[in-house]
A and B are shown apart, each in its own frame.
Chain A
Amino acid sequence: MTITEFSLDQAQTGVTYRVLSVHANPHLAHSDQHLKDLGFLPGEFVILKKRALPGGDPIVVRIGSSNFALRRAEAACVLIEQV
C-alpha cells in the first residue's frame, strides 16, 4: 500500500483520512495554532463532508465528532494521508 500525503483541501468527499500535521499560512495569522485548538491534531480522523457551490469554498469537514466550516486556504494548512 502506498501512502500518499496531501492537504485537506485536496481531499475527496466522504473518504476518511488521518491528520499528519498542521502548518502555518503566512496570509492567515496563527492559522496552525487555531486549527490545532479546534482539534486538527496528528492522528485524528477527518472527513470532507461538503464543498459549497460554486467554487468549492468554503468546505465542511468532520474532525472527531464535530463539524466545522473551513475556508479552503485554512484546510490547505492541514496535511493528511489516506487510511
Chain B
Amino acid sequence: MQESKIHLHPTGPLFALVGHPNCGKTALFNQLTGSRQKVANYAGVTVERKEGRFQTPAGVNVRVLDLPGTYSLYPRSIDEQITCNVLMGRATGEKTPDVVICVVDATNLRRSLRIVLAVERLGLPCMVALNMVDEAKARGIEIDASKLSNALGLPVMATVAIQKGGDAALREAIDQALINRKTPSLSTQTLAPTAVENDHKRIQEILSDLLLDRVVPDLRSERIDQVILNPVVGPIILVAILFFIFQAMFSLAEAPMEFIIGTTEQLGSLLTIGLPDNWLRSLLIDGIIAGVGGVVVFLPQILILFFFILVLEESGYLPRAAFLLDRLMGSVGLSGRSFIPLLSSFACAIPGIIATRTIPSIRDRMVTILIAPLMTCSARLPVYALLISAFIPSQEVWGGLELQGLVMFGLYFIGIFGALVVAWFLKMFTSKNSRVRPLMMELPTYRLPRIKNLAIGLWQRAVLFLKRVGGIIMIMTIALWFLASFPGAPDGAVGPSIEYSFAGMIGHSLAFILEPIGFNWQIAIALVPGMAAREVAVSALGTVYALSATGEAAAESLIPIISAQWSLATGLSLLAWYVFAPQCLSTIATMKRESGGWKIPIIGLVYMFILAYFCAWVTFKLASSWLG
C-alpha cells in the first residue's frame, strides 16, 4: 500500500476538518480538494491526517487537513490523539490550524455540536459545516442554518459532501472567514471535567429554541438491525456472506481469467515465431510473459474480493459484524474492535496494521498487529489460486458447491483460526484477568453503497496491483531470469541448464532445509524473491519452469506443469506454508513502525516461521502417508 505523506506547504492559511467519526469529513475533503480519499461507513477510516490544497472562489490558495474523527478532545486511541495534537499545536511539522471547520452531522446535531463547543473553547477560530442536510431532510429534520448560526455565534453552512457542488456555500464562507480572521489564541482552561455537561445543557437549550430537540432515529436502519443483530440469524447471515464471496470469487472470475490466459499464450507464441532464438527472446517469453502473465491472471479474483469488501465497508455492516464477533474475539483476549483492522488485512496486512490505531487498548493493539499478517491478504491469492487450480479438481460437491471455492474458503478459515489460536496463546501470557476491554463502538446508519465510490475503490486497487506487477514483480522476475539463465550449462550437461545456474545453486543449497516439508529446489528458488512480494513466487515459478522446459513447451501455462510434476502432498504442504509464513518485508517494516520497536516484528517473524514450517511438515507427512 502507499502511504500518505504530509508535504509541507508553509505558505497559505491552514484549515482543519474536525468532527465526530463517520460524519462525512473525508467526503467533504474530497469534494473541496478533488482528491480521492477512501470513504467508508465505519468509524476510523481516516487514521492519519491527510492534506490537500484548493483555491477559494476569491482565488486564495488554502491548505486543508482531514483529521481522524473524534467524539471529544479527550483522546481514547492513537488516531484521536492525532486530531487533538494538531488542534493544540503539538503535532510535529504542522502549525496550529488558522481556522477549524467543524463538520456536523445534521441527523445528529445534539452530539455533533458538543465538539464544536469544545473546539471553540480551545480558542481556535471555527466555522460549522452542517453536513448531510439531505439525509436529515429525508428524515423530516429541517434545520435553519442562519438561526443555528445566530444561536451558536459561529458561521454555519449547509453542505452535502457526497454531492458535486454540495460544498459551494462552504467554499464561499472560507473566503469570508479569511477576511475576518483572528489570530488563534490557545486557551488553557479547556480540560475542566464539568465542561461536557455544561456544553450539553447549552446545546439542549439551543435545540429546543430551534424546535430541533426531537430525537429522530433512522427507522430503516432499526428494521435492518432487527435481523442483522439477531443472535441466531445474525451469525448465520455473516457466515453466508463470507461464504458467498468466496464462491463468487471463483465462479465469476472464470471467464476473464481464461481471456487473460489466452491472451498471454497468444502473445508468447507470436513472439516465439517473430523473434530469433536468442537471449532476448528467452527474457521476453520465459522471463516476462511467463512470470508477469502468471500474476496478472489473478486480477479478476482480486477485484471481485475487493468489490465485496468495499460494499461491506460502505453499507455500514462491518461494525455490526464486529458486534456479532465480539464474544468470539473476547474468548481469545481481543475485542470486536480488532475485527475491522483484521478484515482490512484480507486486502493487505499493511493498511490493516495501520488501522489498529483505532484500538484503545495498547495490549489489544499489539496482539492485533501480530496476528494481522495471518489474515489471507490479496497477494496470497495468486499463490492459492495457482495451487488450487493445479491440485484440486474442479467439480461440484454437495449439490452445486464449487469444490475449489470451498478449499479457498477453507484456507481463509485456517488463517483466521490460526490467528485466533495465536491470540489465545498470547492471552495466556499477557492478559490480566481483572481487566475489561473497552468496546464503545458506534453502529452507524446503513447506507446504500454508491456506485461511484465502488468504482473509484476498484480502480485504485487495480492500478495499485498493476503498478506492483510493472514494478517490483517485473524487477524480481527479470532478476530471477538472469540468475536462472547464467551461467549456462557446461558442455556435456544432461539436465536443463537452469540446474547449473546461480538460481539452481541457491535452490539446491536451500533444498535440504525445505526437503522435510516436501519442497523441491524449484520451490526453494521461488520462495526467495517471494519475500519482496508474495505473488512473485508465482511469477518466479513461471520463469523457473519455463527455463527448465525444453523446446516449444516453454510458453505453456504453469498449472498443468506443476500438477504433473509435484505430488499432491507437496502442493498441500506449500499451501499450508503460505497460510502462515512471514513473507513480505514491507509488512515487517510496518509492524516495526506501528509498534515503535523491533520487539513485535521479531516475535512475529519467529512465530510465523515456526508455525509455517511445522504446519507444512505435518501436512506433508499426513498427505504423503494417506494419499500416497
Interface 0/1 of A52-80, CB less than 8 Å to B: 11110110101011111111011000000
Give B277-312 as 1s and 0s: 1 = Cβ < 8 Å from A's Cβ atoms: 000000000000000000000000000000000000
In the complex, residue of chain A having the shortest beta-carbon distance to the beta carbon of B118:
A37
A25 at the interface (CB under 8 A from B): yes
Check B217 against A34 for contact (C-beta < 8 Å).
no
- Chain B residue at minimum C-beta to C-beta distance from A51: B231
The answer to whether B111 and A66 have CB atoms under 8 Å apart is yes
Cβ < 8 Å to A, chain B residues 191-220: 193, 196-197, 200, 204, 215-218
Please give, as numbers and ranges, the residues of chain B lying within 8 Å of A37 by CB-CB distance. Answer: 71-72, 74, 114, 196
For residue A29, give the distance in angstroms from its CB to the closest CB of chain B. Answer: 8
Distance of A52 from chain B, by nearest CB (Å): 6
> A30–B434 Cα gap in the complex (Å)?
16
Find out whether the CB atom of A36 lies under 8 angstroms from the CB atom of B438: no
Contact across chains for A71 and B436 when beta carbons are under 8 A apart: yes
Whether A38 touches B440, Cβ cut-off 8 Å, given contacts A27-B435, A33-B193, A65-B217, is: yes
Let me know if A68 and B218 touch, CB within 8 A: no
Docked-complex contact B327 and A55, CB < 8 angstroms: yes
Residues of A within 8 Å of B441, CB to CB, are 68-69
Q: How far is the CA of A27 from the CA of B111 in the complex (A)?
A: 26
**Contact flag A42-B443 (CB < 8 Å), given A49-B225, A57-B327, A64-B111:** no
| Max chain B Cβ within 10 angstroms of own Cβ: one of A30, A58, A70 | A58
As a 0/1 sequence over residues 535 to 565 of chain B, the CB contacts with chain A under 8 angstroms (1 = contact) are 0000000000000000000000000000000
B326 contacts A58, CB within 8 Å?
yes
Using a Cβ–Cβ cut-off of 8 Å, how many residues does chain B contribute to the interface with A? 41
- Given A52-B323, A52-B326, A54-B327, answer yes or no on A39-B436 (Cβ-Cβ < 8 Å): no
- Evaluate contact between A65 and B439: CB separation under 8 angstroms: no
Known contacts A27-B435, A30-B74, A37-B71; decide if A66 and B108 are in contact (CB<8 Å): yes
CB pair B440–A35 under 8 Å, yes or no, is: yes
**Chain A: CB-nearest residue to B434:** A27
For the complex, what is the distance from the CA of A51 to the CA of B324, rounded to whole Å?
10
**Bound-complex Cα distance A57 to B324 (A):** 10
Check if A20 is an interface residue, CB within 8 A of chain B: no
A28 at the interface (CB under 8 A from B): yes
Chain A residues positioned under 8 Å from B232 (CB to CB): 53
Question: Which A residues are in CB contact (< 8 Å) with B323?
Answer: 52, 58, 60, 69
Q: Is B204 a contact partner of A43 (Cβ separation < 8 A)? A: yes
Rounded to whole angstroms, the CA-CA distance of A71 and B335 in the bound complex is 10
Structural contact, A34 and B229, CB atoms closer than 8 A: no
Shortest beta-carbon distance from A64 to chain B in Å = 5
CA distance A71 to B441 in the complex (A): 9
Number of A-B contacts (CB under 8 A): 113
Which A residues are in CB contact (< 8 Å) with B322?
69
Q: How far is the CB of A57 from chain B (nearest CB, A)?
A: 7
Q: Does B582 contact A (CB under 8 A)?
A: no
Given the contacts A38-B71, A64-B111, A65-B217, A73 and B436 also touching, CB distance less than 8 Å: yes
User: Closest Cβ of chain B: how far from A20's Cβ, in Å?
Assistant: 12
- Interface residues in B68-125 (C-beta closer than 8 Å to A): 71-72, 74, 76, 107-108, 110-111, 114
Which B-chain residue is minimally distant from A43 (CB atoms)? B204
Question: Across the interface, do B108 and A52 meet the contact criterion of CB distance under 8 Å?
Answer: no
Given contacts A27-B435, A37-B72, A38-B440, contact A64 B319 (CB under 8 A): no
How far apart are A42's CB and chain B's nearest CB, in angstroms?
A: 7
Contact of A60 among B200, B215, B218, B229 (CB under 8 A): B229
Q: Are the C-beta atoms of B443 and A60 separated by less than 8 Å?
A: yes
Q: Is residue B442 contacting chain A, with contact meaning CB distance below 8 A?
A: yes
Q: Distance (Å) between the CB of A2 and the closest chain B CB?
A: 26
Cβ of A50 within 8 Å of any chain B Cβ, yes or no, is: yes
Would you call A52 and B324 a contact (CB within 8 A)?
yes
Q: Is the CB of B440 within 8 A of A74?
A: yes
Kindly provide the distance from the CB of A74 to the nearest chain B CB, expressed in whole angstroms: 6
Inter-chain contact A34/B440, CB cutoff 8 Å = yes
Contact of B461 with A by CB under 8 A? no
Whole-angstrom distance between the alpha carbons of A74 and B76 in the complex?
A: 14
B336 interface contact, C-beta 8 A: yes
Chain B residues lying within 8 Å of A17, measured Cβ to Cβ, are: none
Asked if B508 lies at the interface with its beta carbon under 8 angstroms from chain A, I say no
Indicate whether B437 reaches chain A with its CB closer than 8 angstroms: yes
- The docked-state distance in angstroms from the alpha carbon of A34 to that of B442 is 13
Residues of B with C-beta under 8 A to A50: 225, 229, 231
C-beta contact mask, B309-330 vs A, less than 8 Å → 1, else 0? 0000000000100111011000
Q: How far is the CB of B581 from chain A (nearest CB, A)?
A: 35
Question: Once the chains are docked, how many angstroms separate the CA of A36 from the CA of B111?
Answer: 10
* Docked-complex contact B74 and A34, CB < 8 angstroms: yes
Considering only residues 1-52 of chain A, those with a C-beta below 8 Å from chain B are 25, 27-28, 30-31, 33-39, 41-43, 45, 49-52
List residues of chain B with CB within 8 A of the CB of A67.
221, 225, 442-443
**Which chain A residue lies CB-closest to B139?**
A65
In the bound complex, how far is the Cα of B322 from the Cα of A15, in angstroms? 25
Chain B residues, CB < 8 A from A43 = 200, 204
Residues of A within 8 A of B217 (CB): 62, 65
Contact digits for B224-235, partner A, Cβ 8 Å, 1 yes 0 no: 010001011000
What 14 new A-B contacts, CB under 8 Å, besides A58-B327, A64-B215, A65-B110?
Answer: A34-B74, A37-B71, A37-B196, A39-B111, A43-B204, A45-B215, A49-B225, A49-B229, A50-B231, A54-B327, A62-B217, A66-B111, A68-B441, A74-B439
8 contacts between A and B (CB under 8 A): A34-B76, A37-B196, A38-B111, A57-B327, A64-B108, A67-B225, A69-B322, A74-B438
Query: Which 7 residue pairs across A and B have the least CB separation, nearest first?
Result: A53-B231, A37-B72, A67-B443, A37-B71, A73-B436, A69-B323, A71-B439
